[in-house]
Amino acid sequence: MAQALVRFLVQQWTERDGVQQRLIAGCLGIFGHGNVAGLGEALLTAGDDLRYYQGRNEQAMVHTAAGYARMSDRLSTLACTTSVGPGATNLVTGAALATINRLPVLLLPGDVFATRVANPVLQELEDQRSYDTSVNDALRPVSRYWDRVNRPEQLPAALLAAMRVLADPVETGAVTLALPQDVQVEAYEWPDELFGKRVWHVPRALPEPAALSRAAAAVRVARRPLIVAGGGVIYSRATDALRTFAEATGIPVAETQAGKGSLPFDHPQAVGAVGATGTPGANSLAGQADLVIGVGTRYTDFTTASRTLFADPGVRFVNLNVATFDAGKLAGTALVADALEGLVALATELDGWSVAHEYRDQAAHLARAWDDTVSAAYGLGHEPLPAQSEVIGAVNDIAGPRDVVVCAAGSMPGDLHKLWRTRDPKGYHVEYGYSCMGYEIPGGIGVKMAAPDREVFVMVGDGSYLMMPTELVSAVAEGIKLVVVLVDNAGYASIGSLSESVGSGGFGTRYRYRDPATGRLDGGLLPVDLATNAESLGTDVLRATTVAELREALAAAVASARTTVVHVRTDPSVPAPGSEAWWDVPVAEVSSIPATRAARASYDEARKRRRDHW
């Protein structure tokens, strides 16, 4: 059965716009008793037909597959196989990340014996309510499709259903096929047709004419419209269509985290990041917009500033999205379609229509002002330790137009959203749907595997680095070259700042000894040497203490053929320029701490601005 599964995966392809590519480009795996004799043997005999990549952490394998899928615009991905037990449950976080971000990944965990001849086997969860339950059932709620193949003859139906979901731009996410270890090694005669080449055509859904007319009518009467470009713009490769539409209509374009790069940062209609981690200019336009055109966005709380951002009393929404679920959000006019097809159709409907010149000029002025702010943040000259914005500036300056920055968690994603000058639609890869600490290095590996001709800069804070440094070993083993910028600020800077803002004083967010006199974790700094740790995992390491040294180290890292970690300490007390937007983090309503009481008063005042947009 395992041999049949591998043989089937080799023959699966996607096609969009006449271009075909492998749906499953390889398989990451860590072997144990639950998969070594089945899938292990099958992958060994498959050779390069389905290349095997050795993982070091099961969660990280899924992150690598997600990074690969995102870089491939969800048209190609990787499979991940684990043993039953802790290997399988380690997949759960990665599966949640993939499903939340709507990225296709195929999970193939081993499972307990379908025949139940030796219950309980090693690592079996005994559930007195049902012998049909195993730890793999924990993957059900975080998978878009989940199945257990209890008999070999069930394999074709399970595989076809799994591929359908992986190739569907609306339904995609983590797909789990739990494979009992005894069934994996059973022989069965399947029809030859199962192993023929199969092409999964990824359609471009066209807008329904009446919905298109309603959307165009809403735009025509708008005086201050704003486009919010989400990840759907990039996945559908609609960036050229967006640029044409924005230039013709003069409507400014703001970008979500997933949509950053929809326009080059210096395009006349580009006003930068929007929302809680956005720019003051984009958020000012959002606050006065009488129409918001969301293209391929989920409208997360960061994008809407917890529903306080779109403040015009009469604001309306037009939502162009391939998913009906997202198109109907905020009581918007739904335009269900592929982003590229929808933008082209909407541009045709609005031929000759444009916003007033004064509005174009206002947006351009705000964008120029923010670009000046970015330049100042890049060149603060802060001493003795550089500010994080200066580190971002140094990396941005050395990165080529097609190079990729990868990040996921901590304070850096917010700073990157505001400050990174993106020049290419695939040049910005920040996982912010799940904001998963530890994603950066394995995600960067997936990006590099999908785009080996691009330089990949992984930017990771010390807290996130400590979650998943193991995949540096995988990068070294496979000769996958990354430039890892390890920003060390001795703690969880993002949550530390948030803790201060809600009156908790940074409690539990710094890397310090426990003070024996107070019993609190506020003693001296821990003597953790992350650079030496990275060196011990097989990478080259360069240490920088100033911005000038950082720039020299980055240049050397780019010139090298090996994965290089550039370690730099920063001063976490220097914030990046603010967004002038709010994020809803509830504060204790009753507290003995004066700072918390003050924070609660500010919270109560801020949430008065929330809108339901019925």
Whether residue 159 sits in one domain with residue 72: yes
Residue 503, in any domain of the structure? no
Q: Are residues 59 and 183 in the same domain?
A: yes
Last residue of a domain, one of 167, 201, 235: 201
Domain edge (last residue) among 338, 369, 400: 369
The Cα 443–Cα 447 span in angstroms is 6
- Cβ-Cβ contacts under 8 Å for 263 (sequence gap 6 or more): 229, 239, 242, 243, 246, 253, 255, 269, 270
Residues 177 and 296 in one domain: no
**Shared-domain flag, residues 481 and 387:** yes
Instruction: Flag whether 520 is in a domain.
Output: no
| Same domain assignment for residues 128 and 277 | no
pLDDT digits (tens, 9 = 90+) for 335-394: 999 999 999 999 999 999 999 999 999 999 999 999 999 999 999 999 999 999 999 999
- pLDDT given at position 582: 94
The verdict on 191 and 236 lying in the same domain is no
What would the DSSP string read from start to end of 442-491?
Answer: HHHHHHHHH-TTS-EEEEEEHHHHHHSTTHHHHHHHHT---EEEEEE-SB
Q: What Å distances lie between residue 289 and 256, 272, 282, 332, 371, CA to CA? A: 16, 15, 10, 14, 22
| Residue 499 located in a structural domain | no
Residue 512 lies in a domain: no
What's the whole-model pTM score? 0.97
Q: Does 334 fall in a domain?
A: yes
**Does residue 517 form part of some domain?**
no
576 in any annotated domain: no
Could you give the CA distance from residue 444 to residue 457 in angstroms, rounded to a whole number? Answer: 8
Assess if residue 515 is contained within a domain.
no
Q: Mean pLDDT, 10 residues at a time, over the chain (614 residues)?
A: 98 98 98 96 95 97 98 98 96 98 98 92 89 95 98 97 98 98 96 97 97 98 98 98 98 98 97 97 98 98 97 97 97 97 98 97 97 97 95 98 96 96 98 96 98 98 94 97 95 82 85 89 89 97 97 98 97 91 94 94 94 86
pLDDT 10s digits, 149-166? 999 999 999 999 999 999
CA distance 108 to 175: 9
Point out the domain boundary residue: 310, 345, 369: 369
Structural domain boundaries enclosing 448: 379-490+526-569
How far apart, in whole angstroms, are the C-alpha atoms of residue 141 and residue 132?
A: 17
CA distance 426 to 401: 10
347 and 383 in a single domain? The answer is no
C-alpha span between 224 and 317 (Å, rounded): 12
Whether residue 159 sits in one domain with residue 223: no
Whether residue 473 sits in one domain with residue 351: no
pLDDT tens sequence across 303-343? 999 999 999 999 999 999 999 999 999 999 999 999 999 99
The number of domains in the chain is 3
CATH number of the domain within which 144 lies: 3.40.50.970
Pair (11, 85) in one structural domain? yes
9 and 51: one domain?
A: yes
331 and 218 share a domain?
A: yes
Q: What is the CATH number of the domain that holds 269?
A: 3.40.50.1220
